[in-house]
């Protein structure tokens, strides 16, 4: 049964899809097709935004803000790794200063086209039917010597005959989605991920079906409610409720009828500080339950996986032999899975309790000694999209 549904989901993604790293002309090898558009030799990027106001439900100022938020999202994600990525064999991305200019000019490396009316004749010809796409990034040119790209990020109309939900079998898509700035920001984050060189991966923001899921009537509320997740590092703000994991009430010294345990945290230089609170129902007012402080022990040591790889053309002059560690590729920002050693303290306890925290980009596991036995005291994994379609439990 589930297998059948899965097949339907995958096929339906063909109806409304996006493409990353597609090149209309220039005859480049596919091998460099996914490289970032900008590397360390580009320090500033001027971009412009064209809006087809008749077919876009968002205000002009919301579109500008969403574009800027999407760029800043990735800069924030990459920032903590830039020092490490400056070493030989690695590559920094997203180091540029992005500035919006107006009006658009043919020489700009990055143009945001919001709504079908902004597409020129060639772009229309290439996309064939713009309403097939919720969003798409098109790198039109790539200079293999300077390793710089040039192209557009297109976001579909959400009103009128060219809107993403005007095709047969698109009735499951939420209409006029760009009225919600957060949904537009999510779509732009996905497309900017491609501009920064991140291919389709995993089940989150950069998954191949992300844009389709984002606008799926069943998921829209989920994305509107939940805080924007990190992409490269583990979640810092989350609620552990029955469907998203479990917790040990003895260890956390909380009432047995606690429905959810809320974590609100910040990570600074490998140190995490979480404020915990309990909720009797998922919509209840939170009651403070203590603090959990943890320090990372083995950052990058545990199954570090690169989020992107940059392939080096033989003509390139950006990276010296030493820069590239003699390789024909460079390793970009990595998913930062790690292990942290921490202590938990309630608002009234005088003695902190030791806890080990396994941090993954898609899950958190905490282990501690409870009544003399090593016990998992918290398991969290973000509610998966599949769970939203097929709820488990009561």
Instruction: Collect all residues with Cβ–Cβ distance below 8 Å to 369 and sequence separation of at least 6.
Output: 354, 375
- Candidates 13-21, 147-155, 340-348, 373-381; binding stretch for Zn ion (CB under 5 A): 13-21
- Candidates 65, 41, 37; CA nearest to 317 is 41
The answer to whether the Cα torsion of 29, 35, 39, 44 is positive or negative is: positive
Site string for Zn ion, 284-323 (x = CB under 5 A): ----------------------------------------
Token output for 140: 């039109």
Does 197 engage in binding with Zn ion (CB under 5 A)?
Answer: no
Segment lying near Zn ion (by CB under 5 A), choices 12-20, 35-43, 251-259, 287-295: 12-20
Which residue of 6, 13, 17, 20 would you call a contact of Zn ion, by CB under 5 A?
Answer: 20
Give DSSP secondary structure letters for 12-76: HHHHSB--SSB-SSS---GGGTTS-S--TT--EEEEEEEE-GGG--S-HHHHHHHHHHHHHHHHH
Residue showing tokens 């700035």: 181
Stretch that binds Zn ion, among 15-23, 55-63, 224-232, 353-361 (CB under 5 A): 15-23
Q: Is 155 helix (H, G, I), strand (E, B) or coil?
A: strand
Among 18, 52, 239, 337, binds Zn ion (CB under 5 A): 18
Select the span of 14-22, 88-96, 149-157, 217-225 touching Zn ion (CB under 5 A): 14-22
CB 192, min distance to Zn ion, A: 10
By beta-carbon proximity to Zn ion, the closer residue of 199 and 376 is 199
Q: Does 21 contact Zn ion by CB under 5 A?
A: no
**Using the rule CB under 5 A, is 333 a contact of Zn ion?**
no
**Binding range to Zn ion, per CB under 5 A, among 19-27, 34-42, 114-122, 340-348:** 19-27
239 touching Zn ion, by CB under 5 A: no
- The half-sphere exposure of 183 on its side-chain side, counting CA atoms within 13 A, is 28
Any residues with CB less than 8 A from the CB of 328 and at least 6 apart, and which?
311, 312
Quote the least distance from Cβ 202 to Zn ion, whole Å.
12
Residues in a beta bridge with 389: none
Question: Which residue number, 201 or 311, has a Cβ lying nearer to Zn ion?
Answer: 201
Nearest residue (CB) to Zn ion, 16 versus 147: 16
Q: Which parts of 152-284 fold into alpha helices (H)? A: 181-195, 210-214, 220-225, 249-252
Rounded to a whole number of angstroms, the minimum distance from the CB of residue 191 to Zn ion is 7
Q: How far is the CB of 136 from Zn ion (least distance, A)?
A: 8
Minimum CB–partner distance for residue 186 and Zn ion (Å): 12
Give the nearest distance from C-beta 195 to Zn ion in angstroms. Answer: 11
Q: What is d(CA 271, CA 87) in angstroms, rounded to the nearest whole number?
A: 23
User: What Rg do the C-alpha atoms of the chain give, in angstroms?
Assistant: 23
Does 77 help bind Zn ion (rule: CB under 5 A)?
no
Nearest residue (CB) to Zn ion, 58 versus 214: 214
Q: Which stretch binds Zn ion (CB under 5 A): 18-26, 147-155, 166-174, 180-188?
A: 18-26
132 in Cβ contact with 156 (< 8 Å)? no
Query: CA nearest 263: which of 227, 302, 299, 221?
Result: 227
Residues of the shown chain interacting with Zn ion in the complex, contacts defined by CB under 5 A: 18, 20
């Amino acid at each position: 049964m589930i297998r059948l549904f899965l097949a339907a989901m995958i096929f339906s993604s063909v109806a409304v899809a996006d493409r990353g790293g597609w090149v209309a002309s220039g005859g480049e090898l596919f091998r460099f097709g996914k490289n970032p558009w900008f590397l360390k030799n580009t320090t500033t990027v001027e971009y412009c935004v064209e809006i087809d106001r008749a077919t876009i439900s968002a205000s002009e100022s919301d579109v500008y803000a969403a574009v800027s938020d999407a760029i800043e999202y990735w800069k924030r994600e990459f920032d903590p790794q830039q020092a490490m990525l400056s070493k030989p064999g690695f590559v920094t991305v997203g180091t540029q200063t992005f500035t919006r200019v107006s009006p658009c000019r043919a020489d700009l490396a990055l143009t945001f086209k919001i709504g079908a009316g902004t597409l020129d004749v060639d772009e229309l010809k290439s996309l064939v039917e713009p309403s097939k796409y919720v969003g798409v990034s098109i790198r039109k040119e790539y200079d293999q010597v300077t390793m710089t790209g040039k192209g557009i990020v297109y976001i579909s109309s959400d009103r009128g005959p060219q809107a993403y939900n005007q095709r047969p079998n698109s009735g499951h898509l939420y209409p006029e989605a760009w009225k919600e700035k957060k949904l537009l920001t999510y779509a732009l984050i996905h497309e900017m991920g491609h501009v920064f060189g991140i291919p389709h991966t995993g089940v989150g923001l950069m998954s191949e079906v992300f844009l389709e899921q984002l606008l799926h009537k069943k998921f829209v509320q989920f994305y509107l409610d939940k805080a924007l997740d990190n992409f490269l590092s583990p979640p810092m703000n989350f609620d552990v409720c029955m469907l998203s994991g479990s917790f040990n009430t003895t260890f956390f010294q909380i009432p047995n009828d606690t429905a959810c345990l809320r974590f609100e945290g910040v990570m600074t230089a490998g140190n995490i500080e979480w404020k915990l609170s309990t909720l009797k129902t998922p919509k209840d007012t939170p009651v403070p339950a203590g603090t959990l402080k943890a320090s990372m022990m083995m950052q990058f040591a545990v199954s570090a996986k690169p989020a992107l790889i940059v392939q080096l053309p033989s003509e390139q002059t950006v990276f010296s032999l030493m820069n590239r560690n003699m390789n024909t590729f460079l390793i970009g920002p990595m998913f930062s899975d790690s292990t942290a050693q921490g202590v938990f303290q309630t608002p009234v306890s005088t003695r902190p309790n030791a806890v080990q925290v396994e941090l993954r980009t898609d899950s958190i596991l905490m282990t501690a000694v409870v009544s003399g036995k090593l016990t998992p005291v918290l398991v969290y994994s973000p509610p998966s999209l599949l769970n939203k379609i097929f709820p488990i439990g009561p």
